[in-house]
A and B are shown apart, each in its own frame.
Chain A
Amino acid sequence: MNIFVQMWRSLFRTGVTDSPVHRVFRVVVNFILHLHPARVSKNGIKITYTFCLGGLSVLFFVMTALTGGLLMIYYTPDVDKAYANMLDLENVIPFGMFLRNLHRFAAHAMVISVSLHMLRVFLTASYKSPREFNWVIGVGLLLMTFLLSFTGYLLPWDQLSYWAVTVGTTMAENTPIVGTKGPFSVLGPEEDMRFILLGGTSIDQPTLIRFYFAHCIGLPGALVGLMALHFWRVRKAGGISRPL
Chain B
Amino acid sequence: MNDKTELKERLRLLTVIREEALLRQRDIYPREEKVDTWPNLVVKELIALLIFTIVLVVWALVQDAPLEELANPGLTPREAKAPWYFVGLQELLVYFDPWMAGVVLPTVILVGLALVPYLDPDPIKGVGRYAIGKRKFAAFCFIFGFTMWFVLVVVGQYFRGPGWNFYLPWESLDSPKEVEVALTNFPLAAGIAFLACYYILGLGIPAVTFQNFFWRLGLIRYHITMILLMTMMLVPVKILLRQVFHIRYIVETPWFNI
Beta-carbon nearest neighbor of A102 in chain B: B60
Which residues in A have their C-beta under 8 angstroms from that of B73?
162, 202-203
Task: List A contacts of B130 (CB < 8 A).
Answer: 123-124
Q: A126 on the interface (CB 8 Å rule)?
A: yes
Chain A residues whose CB sits within 8 angstroms of the CB of B72 once the complex forms: 159, 162
Tell me the residues in window 175-198 of chain A with beta carbons closer than 8 Å to chain B beta carbons: 175-176, 179, 181-184
Contact B37 A39 (CB under 8 A): yes
A54–B209 CA distance with the chains assembled, in angstroms: 39
B39 at the binding interface (Cβ < 8 Å)? yes
For the complex, give the distance between the alpha carbons of A172 and B77 in Å: 21
Check A243 against B129 for contact (C-beta < 8 Å): yes
Q: Are A159 and B71 in contact (CB under 8 A)?
A: yes
Separation of A183 and B104 alpha carbons in the complex (Å): 11
B45 smallest CB distance to A (angstroms): 6
Give Cα A106–Cα B123 distance, bound, in whole angstroms: 36
**A47, A202, A237, A243 interface centre (most CB from chain B within 10 Å):** A243
Partner of A41, one of B32, B120, B132, B256: B32
Contact B49 A59 (CB under 8 A): yes
**Do A242 and B32 touch (CB < 8 A)?**
yes
For A136, list chain B residues within 8 Å (CB). Answer: 114, 117
Q: Give A106 to B116 CA distance when docked, in angstroms.
A: 29
CB-CB contacts below 8 Å: B87-127 with A: 89-90, 97-99, 101-104, 110, 113-114, 116-118, 120, 122-127
Note all chain B residues with C-beta closer than 8 A to A146.
85-86
Which of the candidate stretches B50-58, B218-226, B229-237 sits at the interface with the other chain?
A: B50-58
A55 within 8 A of B: yes
A189 to chain B, nearest CB (A): 15
With beta carbons under 8 angstroms apart, the residue of B64, B86, B90 that contacts A101 is B64
Report A-chain residues with C-beta under 8 Å of the C-beta of B124. Answer: 128, 244
Tell me if A219 counts as interface (CB < 8 A to partner B): no
Chain B residues whose CB sits within 8 angstroms of the CB of A94 once the complex forms: none
Given contacts A33-B37, A158-B67, contact A123 B113 (CB under 8 A): no
Interface: B15 (CB within 8 A): no
Q: List 26 A-B contacts (CB under 8 A).
A: A23-B38, A33-B37, A39-B34, A39-B36, A42-B32, A43-B128, A55-B45, A59-B49, A86-B67, A98-B61, A102-B56, A105-B56, A115-B146, A119-B142, A119-B143, A129-B23, A132-B117, A135-B116, A156-B67, A168-B102, A171-B89, A172-B102, A176-B103, A176-B104, A237-B28, A244-B124
Given contacts A135-B114, A158-B67, A166-B80, 13 further A-B contacts (CB under 8 A): A24-B38, A33-B38, A33-B42, A40-B40, A41-B30, A63-B53, A63-B56, A83-B71, A118-B113, A125-B131, A131-B117, A135-B117, A183-B255
